[in-house]
Structure 1
């Protein structure tokens, strides 16, 4: 029974001490990491200013004109809508066959 008497107090004390030590260690690690990152950023800016400016440009795709990009987006959306409609029709047919009654075909359905 003597082991159980001090369990709650030891548990609380351990949690408090562990929290303090963990917070202290975490703060030290974060501080050192920030210093290393700052040093690396300074080195990159001082050593290679032209490369730092070129990197974002190389990642950007070539821009189409507004009308071309709108047309491309419209075609892509139309294709995706057609695929979704075909998939919905297939699922309706499968569910109709499972329930025992054939589902109406796409020509029998009314448009919304």
Structure 2
């Protein structure tokens, strides 16, 4: 019975020590290399990325609205073309050369 108690105690102690060592190694490896090499207190030479300022917070003019609308229409047309191409490729893979009709005829039932 004594060996069984030693085994379970050692098992839990090993799990705790192994978990702590693994956590420390993980923290060290996860920190960026530049951060580890730099002495404490030294500021990074890499500037932080700046957020892009929002354009046109004021009242948009008719011309800018029209340009934006045309740009969106062009993108929508491109997406529709891409969807159609994929639909034709899928239909070709499934062995159907044409799209199935959306209405059911009495003969097909």
Question: TM-score, with normalisation over the residues of structure 2?
Answer: 0.44
- Bigger RCO (CA 8 Å, 6+ sep): 1
Question: TM-score, with normalisation over the residues of structure 1?
Answer: 0.43
Q: Which structure features the higher share of helix residues? A: 1
